[in-house]
Amino acid sequence: MVRPAQPAGSFFTLGRLSNRPALAPFRTRAFRYQWPADLSTAWALEMETLILGWYVLVESGSVVTLTLFGALMYMGTLLSPLIGTLGDRMGLRRLLAGMRLSYAVLASVILLLALTGRLSPTPVLALAFLVGLIKPSDIGMRTALASASVPAAQLVAAMGISRTTQDSARIGGALAGAGFMASLGMAGAYVAITALYLLAAVLTWRSGAVQARRPVGPPVAAARAAATAGPSVPGVPAGAAAGPASPWQDLKEGLRHVWHTPRLRASMSVAALVNLCAFPLTGGLMPYVARDVFGLDQQGLGWLVASYASGALLGSLAMGSFGARLPPARTMLLTCALWYLFLMGLALPIGVGTAMVLYLGAGLVQSLSMLALSIILLRTSEERFRGRVMGVRMLAIYTLPLGLLAAGALIPVIGFAALVLGYATLGLLMLGAITLAWRDELLAQGARANAG
């Protein structure tokens, strides 16, 4: 259920600006609270990742330890489907608020260690593991919450606006994190990070979006009638909802729904692919690229990250403005291929300026590709499965730590340039295989995944 738009002048309203189609989601009260909550979370996560990544690299002097840190930040991807199921049952808003409060608690531990002089790479890795248990689910849950808060006609615009929180955080969060670390030190930076997490938890709770909850007891008559009429969702047997549902049963239904829906399975395959051999080059390896490839300091790292994020922000704004007119599946495949081509340029003997341009282009097409993928998942899956579908989507991130750990082992052996060329080539070949395997679902003009 979606709450009606609040009158102009209420908290976080944009007044006349919300009459523009690209800003229409702000007419919904829940979205007006959720957007700044997501923004605060994204800024804090980005600042924390950059600060701790640089700290681990400098203190340990090892790219292997750096990639281990990056991998630990995503270890919770195995829990994402279960967390998505929990969100469907207890409400996405409550779940997100609790997750963000836990971020604040863990950040306060880092703050305490920094204040007492006990901070070292070992506790940082331990806390990275704890954050990594829930962090991978945050993006999927916030996307599912936004889709449940706004009318269906505003979904594409909402996805574009929601994505700007993540992209702007990689710009501002990277520069602010580097600036705070340089001027205020670790403790000062973590005061700001903890405050942002607390603000995000409060705003998420205040969003007050009314979520449809699946019945956990005997179903109502309408649900029983639907169950006896036969299966309405691919892979979910008739009558599956006709009794008390356990979380594990919910999870299995969600996994069956994804597996037996070709367009969803194809999209999940693309997500797993880019997390394996694209995101490591623009995420966890960035501190190494800045220091060891281009000889930059922490401020230079901030500028490299900001270049990539600036392109991603442009892509998010573009998708929010005219993305409704693009065929999602075709857009996803084309921009994903361009993403790998931009990354290939990093294997050439280039300077910092050229690298920033390549990161800008890679960020732009990455944003378009991943937004198109999310639109396919949310628009073509049944509403009651959205939390679980996005949970499975986050499960695809599990290939990211695998790609990072492999990169950490390969770079000392073959070098950074060869690694980039190998990852990008593998990505293009596998993308071609996915396209051929599901060409009817992804390329056909009349395919549901390309519906406007």
pLDDT band at 414 (very low <50, low <70, confident <90, very high): very high
**What is the pTM (predicted TM-score) of this model?**
0.69
- What average pLDDT score do residues 327-335 get? 92
pLDDT band at 149 (very low <50, low <70, confident <90, very high): confident
Q: Is the pLDDT of residue 405 over 70?
A: yes
User: Which 3 state secondary structure label does DSSP give 177?
Assistant: helix
pLDDT band at 351 (very low <50, low <70, confident <90, very high): very high
Q: Is the pLDDT of residue 222 over 60?
A: no
Q: How far apart are CA 48 and CA 66, in angstroms?
A: 14
DSSP annotation of 291: I
The pLDDT assigned to 216 comes to 36
Return left, alpha or beta for 15; rule: phi > 0 is left, psi -120 to 50 is alpha, else beta.
left
- Those residues with Cβ within 8 angstroms of residue 287's Cβ, 6 or more apart along the chain or in another chain: 50, 53, 54, 57, 66, 301
For residues 286 and 305, is the Cβ–Cβ distance under 8 A? yes
- What average pLDDT score do residues 149-174 get? 71
Query: 54-63, 171-180, 196-205, 240-249 — which one is most confidently predicted on average?
Result: 196-205
pLDDT band at 406 (very low <50, low <70, confident <90, very high): very high
pLDDT band at 436 (very low <50, low <70, confident <90, very high): very high
